[in-house]
Structure 1
Amino acid sequence: MNKSIVYTDHSALKYLFTKKDVKARLLRWILLLQEFDFKVIDTRGAENYAADHLSRLENPYENIFDPKEINETFPLESLNKVAHKDPSTPWFADLANYHAGNFIIK
């Protein structure tokens, strides 16, 4: 396998391999990363153009919290068989609100 070079501003990664006594959680990561043949080179974030460009990509979910209409029809018949205590509110309102805008009305 070819040796890879990792350009990163994550200096803790370099520190991880030089530390002698580590906790079990960090040791698991060290053992996992030792399976790969790579060299870590510190690069300031502003100089790491590829990572800088990737961090500035447009987010297609940027407007995820905008109000959306809730579709009260579900294609799965099994979902329609579930009963709800309050007949004035559809039983799946919490689920729909959570998926539509990551909130639940209590």
Structure 2
Amino acid sequence: MLKRCEDTKLALNWEKSHFMVKEGIVLGHKISKKGIEVDKAKIEVILKLPHPKTVKGIHSFLRHAGFYRRFIKHFSKISRPITHLLEKNSPFIFSNECIQAFRTLKEKLTKAPILIAPNYDQPFELMCDANDYAVGAVSGQRIEKHFWPIHYASKTM
């Protein structure tokens, strides 16, 4: 890998480079032999946030939480009451439903599953779900009859 960086004249920051480690933080994700996890330090910041009181606050929260959406099953479905407030001509009323969605997302971030790295020698499974306002999917693989997620995806319509 270092040879390839050298060949392409890619400059590396040696203070940020770590070699021969069992785990580390890369782009806000904890990488280990178990798989990919959320960085607990980043989640602590999100957990301390009060519920948004402005449209700008909603955008900020959804950007932070959305960074880890690949770990949260039904992210779009859960966040729907909050994202509804961003729609044009929608009154800004942070209802009990919005507060519940906000709390649920924060809770799911603290209990986010470990995502495994794909093994391209094994078959993949894709499970999909949809309703009137969101679609969702999870890709994963079975290891010893247990399904392990690789990536969650969801989108509001």
Q: TM-score range by the shorter chain?
A: under 0.3
> Which structure is richer in relative contact order (CA contacts within 8 A, separation 6 or more)?
1
TM-score normalized by the length of structure 1: 0.25
Select the structure that is richer in strand.
Answer: 2
TM-score normalized by the length of structure 2: 0.19
